[in-house]
Amino acid sequence: MRCAALIAAATLICLAGAARAEEFGDVYAGQVYVKDVCAPCHAVQPEASMSPKIDAPSFAAVANTPGMTRTALTVWLTTPHPTMPNYVLEHQDLDNVIAYILSLKND
């Protein structure tokens, strides 16, 4: 009986984790999106540090900037910047892209 209760609890924790991850966007979908849209200027792969456009930071560097948060990325990506094209990212794309960038953070 105890064992069954433990399994039930573990399942619940797993389900809660999956739901949370979804809320913060889909890392894989974000990767697909940035490869398509952002890669002409930014190094988007975890191991890449040199961006095609020299003054665009690699996404790994962005992710590892101290204090980098979902909020900071949301602000950056929803306000105009002279050095970057203005993107209108749909809400879901925005979440996915941010989830992908933050996944490059080294723990």
Among 83, 88, 91, 106, binds ligand HEC (CB under 6 A): 83
Q: Which one, of 28, 53, 30, 29, lies nearest residue 40 by Cα?
A: 53
CB of 107 to ligand HEC, least distance (A): 20
| DSSP run (H or E) holding 72 | helix 70-78
- Binding of ligand HEC by 37 (CB under 6 A): yes
Among 25, 27, 31, 42, binds ligand HEC (CB under 6 A): 42
Stretch that binds ligand HEC, among 9-17, 19-27, 38-46 (CB under 6 A): 38-46
Task: Specify the residue, 17 or 85, whose C-beta has the smaller distance to ligand HEC.
Answer: 85
- Binding of ligand HEC by 40 (CB under 6 A): yes
Among 26, 27, 31, 38, binds ligand HEC (CB under 6 A): 38
| DSSP run (H or E) holding 22 | helix 2-23
CB-based contact 56:37 (threshold 8 Å): no
**Crossing angle for the helix pair 70-78 and 91-103, to the nearest 10 degrees:** 130
